[in-house]
Amino acid sequence: METEVGREIADALGVLLKRSTRQELHRALTVDMGEAVDELTYPVLSGLERTGPCSAADLAPEVGLDRSGVTRRASRLEEAGLVRREADPSDRRATLLALTDAGQCTVQMLRERLSARITASLASWPADEAEAFANSLRRFVTDGPFA
């Protein structure tokens, strides 16, 4: 029955979106990673790596935040030397956010760590099932119920 599937997914998502889940996960990820990057600042790093250098306004929807929020988080990361602000050559009022080498290294390390953790928890899965799940999840995220 199809609605049963929807309900199943809904329940799982409910658990997944728990506040403590996110906190615990990101806390584990950012251990020994310095104080600058935490649950809040990580999305900015990750988003910057995906989009490349861009303005705070352009990055805001990627992170799902207001421009001011992006600015504040970016400032924190800048203070830690992970993000660099550079003037846009084509528009001198704009400020581009870009990852420094340290920032690039950090986000890569974090992604590696997260991937490793996920992979480890999927160790007991059949390889084809894991791959199918990854594909389905990506598809679900991109053109799923969230515009």
Partner DNA sequence: CAGAATAGCGTGCGCGCCGCACGCATACGT
Partner DNA sequence: ACGTATGCGTGCGGCGCGCACGCTATTCTG
Nearest distance from C-beta of residue 11 to DNA, angstroms? 20
Rule CB under 8 A: choose which of 22, 27, 51, 87 binds a copy of itself. Answer: 22
By CB under 7 A, residue 29 contacts DNA: no
Nearest distance from C-beta of residue 138 to a copy of itself, angstroms? 5
Nearest distance from C-beta of residue 122 to DNA, angstroms? 29
| Chain centroid offset of residue 135 CA | 18
Rule CB under 8 A: choose which of 67, 97, 106, 140 binds a copy of itself. Answer: 140
| Start-to-end CA span in the chain (Å) | 25
The Cβ-side half-sphere exposure at 75, using a 13 Å CA radius, reads 6
How many residues at the interface with DNA, by CB under 7 A?
A: 22
Nearest distance from C-beta of residue 115 to DNA, angstroms? 24
By CB under 7 A, residue 67 contacts DNA: yes
Q: Which is nearer to DNA, 95 or 104 (CB)?
A: 95
How much is the CA Rg of the chain, to the nearest whole Å?
A: 18
Long-range contacts of 34-37 (CB under 8 A, 24+ apart): 34/80, 35/80, 36/76, 36/77, 36/79, 36/80, 36/82, 37/77, 37/80, 37/82, 37/106, 37/110
- Cα–Cα dist 119/41, whole Å: 24
The residues binding a copy of itself (CB under 8 A) are: 2-3, 5-25, 43, 46, 61, 63-65, 111, 114-122, 125, 127, 129-141, 143-147
